[in-house]
Amino acid sequence: MQTFLQYTILGLAIGGSYFIAASGLVVTYTTSGIFNFAQGAIAMLAVFTYWQFRWGWNWPAPLALLMVLGVLAPLLGAALYQVVMKNLRGTSEVTKIIVPIGVMLGFQALATWVWNPTSSTPRQFQKFFGPNAFVHFGSIKVSWHEIIAFVIAIAIAVGIRLLFVRTRSGVAMRAVVDDPELLQLNGGRPERLAMISWAGGSFLAALAGILIQPMIGSAMSAGQLTLLVIDAFAAAMFGRLRSLPRTLAGALVIGLTTTYVIAYFPSKWTWSSSFRNSLPMIFLFIVLIVLPQDRLRGATVLRLRERFRMPSIRTAWIAGLVLMVVVFCLKVIMERTAVNTLTLALTFAIIALSLVLLTGFAGEINLAALSFGAIAVIVVYHFGTTGSGTDARTTLWGILLAAVVTALVGAVIALPALRLRGLYLALATMAFGVFVSRMVLTERNERDIFGLKFTIFTAGQLTIPKPKIGPFDFNSPDAFLFLCAGLFVIIGIGMVYLRHSGYGRRLAAMKDSPAASATLGMSVVRLKLSIFMMSAAIAGIGGVMMAAQIGTVNSDRFDILLSLSLMMITVVGGIGYISGALFAGLFLIAFVQMLDLTLKKFAVDYSSLEAIFLFFVSAVTVLPATIGITMGKNPSGAVSDIVNGLDQIKQSKSLVITLVGLEAAIWALTATDVITNWHFVILTMINLFIVPVIGGKVLLARAMRGVPKPVPPELIGIDRPFTSDDLAEMDRALDLEGVVVPSAGTVREGATGVSA
């Protein structure tokens, strides 16, 4: 009985803290329509900042609290809204999900940068009034901290409820998301209200973080705190992102169940701690299954700002060929380590293709691509290899089996969420990703499953050999590089074919308007399911290739944060394009690594400036997230910008010849060892990015010489007189050709008269 009461109180306190974080989610979602994936990251930042004030600099607790909760957290929230989230109006659901994820990854990287996790002195985070402040109720003792957490949760529940129902600004806040324009017409100020609610949401996140950190009883970890938000997600889902009482109920149930699992599961059950960690995910899944079906919606905005143009099949073949040639040329000049990096980048590009297929073509979201890769790797490890030692090879059947299993797992994950909006599928996949990391990849004990002795993740790492398909052995690095490049090209071209097929058009229809598709008789769920399975299979194949390239993989390789980064960078590259996937792989693996190596090389070469270069090394870790955050401004992605730029270059033959010629020369110099690889990279960058800009300017200047600057149409007649050409042009534009206007003569005279 005593244990029961003790754990009930702890459960209520933890659940209460979950509720505080979840209520912040509900508030920001209700007023801005953006689901704040960064809620956990804000909590994490608050915990670290509070620690810094309270124990790092020994401030008194009230001052530290006031600074974090009263000043910094609300400021952060308001700034987030003003700088980042405000720009998301009129973008697609994908962008609305990706940008907060970018913020989350950014905060995560920032915290690791500022508060070095490998620091020698462990950071102690204590409960309020110290670790020994207890109250005794009969035989049980409860810490003040737990009581405070629970009381604050209840107070906040009542407070927000009153705010939303009773006060004028609360009602206005609820109106913001329904129809901001209408609210504005009625004298409300949606932007300001949304900003205030973000400040409030951020405050709630910070409060939840500071309350919960000492109760979970582990060391401060940026990753763990950031992902703690999943518990809050589950609670918020329980209230369907609207109802606060139900959110509170959900949070308390989660809090209580997790503590009861600790209390009552026999300690010989080795999986009970991973089960406890996975509980919120399991809970989230159950909630998704029982949630009633959403109403089908049309396009929420009239015209999305994202636009993707599909290349023709011919262009796809040419591009594929060019890619193979480029890979070959690079292979010739590159060192072994660089070849490995390029291969790894290509395997990530294959995984990113699965995202392009799912998100770019069908508008659905998978936030755990690498977790599907993990499933495939486990299948290949157990069933898909032959031989042993250096003769071990992955078989074609192993890869295919892995693809099929991943597709089936994908179906199981997606099925409950497919009836629901894209956001719910995104959350379901994220829950799955965390579940895989915490429950599946921690399975290192032998289990007796249906009489089958089995260890899922042997010794915490799996070795995947290179594949051998029929007579072709891909064991050598070069052969495997070409296999990966070829696989990327084949899947990519296949996807272009798919997009041009009836199936692809139906996908586009479903993405653009689910409501219209349904009223044309489409069963949306079945189509969504098929595309999700296909995408999961590609992610699986990519994952196997990735593991085969690395050789031996541990669970870190499939971390959810890595999946999120990949998703984000693919969106940055252009989620609607095959080239967006290539961009993602190259950027995430090759570019970041190259930048990192270059900066470290500088730091060694110029030791007096070491500190500056090492600063930039850290800055590189924040770079992907920073780019992700800018998506609100340019939702179509970077590749589309580059392609648009190339279109202008293509106009001029001489410029194209110059570019290709220069690049060939650089390549030849490298191939003959006149310059190093490192110079090759730098010169190539200059050639590809700077020469076109300068060349374009020169060409434009030359073309413009002698040609008078065009006068904008509205200034004709003011800056220069009307010419007969202008008049003919106007007639044509107004469709007046052949129309006899009686007063035409006078009008024309009048017009010339003005300019005379």
Partner 1 sequence: MSLLETVDVKVKFGGNVALNDVSISVEAGSVTGLIGPNGAGKTTLFNTITGLQPLTSGKIVFNGKDVTKEPPHKRTRMGLARTFQRLELFTSLSVRDNVRVAGEIRNRWSFRTTRMDVNAETDRIIMLVGLADVADREVGEIPTGQARVVELARALMIQPTLLLLDEPASGQTEEETEQFGELLKDLARNDGLGICLVEHDMALVMKVCETIHVLDFGTIISSGTAEYVRNDPTVIDAYLGSPESVG
DSSP 369: H
Binding of residue 518 to partner 1 (CB under 8 A): yes
Binder among 140, 142, 291, 299 for partner 1 (CB under 8 A) = 299
Binder among 308, 381, 480, 587 for partner 1 (CB under 8 A) = 308
Binder among 508, 656, 691, 699 for partner 1 (CB under 8 A) = 508
Binder among 73, 254, 284, 304 for partner 1 (CB under 8 A) = 304
What HEC string does 156-169 produce?
HHHHHHHHHHHCHH
Binding of residue 242 to partner 1 (CB under 8 A): no
* Nearest-approach distance from CB 510 to partner 1, in angstroms: 9
* Nearest-approach distance from CB 666 to partner 1, in angstroms: 38
What is the sign, positive or negative, of the torsion defined by CA atoms of 723, 725, 727, 730?
negative
Binder among 523, 552, 644, 723 for partner 1 (CB under 8 A) = 523
Smaller CB separation from partner 1, 514 or 624: 514
Phi, psi at 673, each rounded to 5°? 60, 25
* Residue type present at position 162: L
* Nearest-approach distance from CB 568 to partner 1, in angstroms: 22
* Residue type present at position 721: P
Q: Which stretch binds partner 1 (CB under 8 A): 164-172, 266-274, 298-306, 745-753?
A: 298-306
Smaller CB separation from partner 1, 520 or 646: 520
* Nearest-approach distance from CB 264 to partner 1, in angstroms: 43
* Nearest-approach distance from CB 524 to partner 1, in angstroms: 7
Picking from 632, 246, 215, 236, the residue whose alpha carbon sits closest to that of residue 431 is 236
Binding of residue 521 to partner 1 (CB under 8 A): yes
Binding of residue 520 to partner 1 (CB under 8 A): yes
Binder among 389, 451, 470, 502 for partner 1 (CB under 8 A) = 502
Binder among 512, 605, 641, 729 for partner 1 (CB under 8 A) = 512
**What proportions of the chain, in percent to the nearest 5, are helix, strand and coil?**
75, 5, 20
CA distance 419 to 625: 31
What is the sign, positive or negative, of the torsion defined by CA atoms of 728, 733, 739, 745?
negative
Binder among 505, 601, 633, 697 for partner 1 (CB under 8 A) = 505
- The CB-based long-range contact list for 261-269 (8 Å cut-off, 24+ gap) reads 262/7, 263/3, 263/4, 263/7
Binder among 166, 268, 295, 336 for partner 1 (CB under 8 A) = 295
CA distance 215 to 126: 9
Binder among 307, 650, 697, 732 for partner 1 (CB under 8 A) = 307
With beta carbons less than 8 A apart as the criterion, state whether 128 and 650 touch. no
User: Residue count at the site for partner 1 (CB under 8 A)?
Assistant: 28
Phi, psi at 140, each rounded to 5°? -100, 145
Please classify residue 58 by burial: count the beta carbons closer than 10 Å to its beta carbon, then call 0-12 exposed, 13-18 middle and 19+ buried.
Answer: exposed
Q: The tokens of 51 are what?
A: 């620690």
Binding of residue 83 to partner 1 (CB under 8 A): no
Binding of residue 216 to partner 1 (CB under 8 A): no
Binding of residue 315 to partner 1 (CB under 8 A): no
DSSP 385: E
Buried b (16+ CB within 10 A) or exposed e, 697-727: eebeeeeeeeeeeeeeeeebeeeeeeeeebb
DSSP letter for each residue of 335-351 = -HHHHHHHHHHHHHHHH
* Nearest-approach distance from CB 566 to partner 1, in angstroms: 23
Binding of residue 677 to partner 1 (CB under 8 A): no
Binding of residue 506 to partner 1 (CB under 8 A): yes
Smaller CB separation from partner 1, 508 or 642: 508
Binder among 274, 513, 618, 626 for partner 1 (CB under 8 A) = 513
CA distance 486 to 480: 10
Binding of residue 291 to partner 1 (CB under 8 A): no
Smaller CB separation from partner 1, 298 or 645: 298
CA distance 313 to 495: 10
Binding of residue 633 to partner 1 (CB under 8 A): no
Smaller CB separation from partner 1, 520 or 660: 520
Angle at which helices 653-671 and 677-685 pack, to 10 degrees? 170
Binding of residue 96 to partner 1 (CB under 8 A): no
**Residues 714-733, interacting with partner 1 (CB under 8 A):** none
* Nearest-approach distance from CB 646 to partner 1, in angstroms: 20
CA dihedral 559, 560, 561, 565 (to 10 degrees): 110
* Nearest-approach distance from CB 735 to partner 1, in angstroms: 12
Q: Which positions touch partner 1 (CB under 8 A)? A: 295-296, 298-299, 302-304, 307-308, 310, 502, 505-506, 508-509, 511-513, 515-524
